[in-house]
A and B are shown apart, each in its own frame.
Chain A
């Protein structure tokens, strides 16, 4: 049979591939750095060094890591926040995390790893507010996915029901307030609100704050556009599939119905359609009979099949250009296939196996007919003697014809590619 087995596509949805996922198994603490590095395709050590450097800057890295740990979902399961959210008792856990983060910030402030109260506290408030806003618009992993999407048992357990609209808006409002409040505090603490000359700084900070608020909306818009594009591509693929089925398979089936009284013709039509469909399914370019040995061999087998009926299964391993030597092997193989179709075509399918290596070309043609003795061929039968054996010998190759004890003939053609 022509071709190879199709490898099943990866079942992981493309949506999952685009999202950042924590990788606790590969990570050192919560798998945040490993997850980000895996998504970006870089070494996790780079992300870890970035977090450490940010941690040395007034502990911003620690806080960012803690927030990422809470809000970025793990590969197996949802976010920590999603696991905590449904229960009333989990408010305690959230408060506990908040107090631990606060404790870390206070400790860093006490030991002197601190930039300024006017910078760090607004930054923390803005980070929390931004996280709240982001979460309401982008949504947790479990809630964002469509309801009909198949889910594993772990995901099903950790799936988070989306918040009601009013509560969602109120949480987003708290986030917006936090971000704007932090921006104003930052401006006030730095004296930017008093000095008109610092209007530029104020504008920049406001723009950054607005960007932080609007970024989730833009993000969501981008995701929707991507989903729409994916749906359009799927629709085009369906249309293309339908058109192909109509032009090829349905037409052939109609033709087969009209030729139902001629089994040989029906079989030839079915074989031709099968070859075409396999080539299309495997996304293989059509065989170029005039350019490569494999293509020419398949074309020759198809032609013999159409003219003589029966089934001819061609398997090729490797390929080469059709030079003089390959042409000689091709002509001998074509003659062997023709003989097999003529004298053993009714006994079963004919197998053709060709292997092309840098050193040699080998072709095996095997049929299931009654077999014959090559030495007993009459002198006027030039097909085997000249077209196969003689042709191969003239080009420095050899031919072996074997007949099994219970019938069946195998013609082996072998030619060294470097030989003169």
Chain B
């Protein structure tokens, strides 16, 4: 492991988007039926998590 400080924002954003991508892939493969009723909360949760972590990290830097 390198001594570089961990970038929490990138980590959370990456995980959230990766999770969303997995859902979309499963939907495309018809492994699950991802209707708009489920897609909307997934997208808003992803965006919300990224915004929240980014905002918190900026306030901490101050």
Contacts and interface: CB of A to CB of B under 8 A. Distances in A.
Contacts of A104: 41, 45
B44 interface: yes
A87 B58 CA distance: 8
B47 to A, nearest CB: 5
B19 interface: no
Contact of A106 (B40, B47, B59): B40
Contacts of B58: 87, 89-90, 92-93
Interface residues of B, number: 21
A93 B56 contact: yes
Interface residues of A, number: 24
B53 interface: yes
Interface in B15-57: 35, 37-38, 40-42, 44-45, 47-56
Given A107-B38, A107-B41, A110-B38, A100 B52 contact: yes
B4 interface: no
Contact of B59 (A90, A97, A99, A100): A90
Given A96-B49, A103-B48, A84 B55 contact: yes
A96 B44 contact: no
Contacts of B55: 84, 89-96
Given A103-B41, A110-B41, A98 B48 contact: yes
Interface in A67-116: 83-84, 87, 89-107, 109-110
A93 B54 contact: yes
Contacts of A97: 48, 52
Contact of A102 (B37, B44, B54, B59): B44
Interface of B: 35, 37-38, 40-42, 44-45, 47-56, 58-59, 62
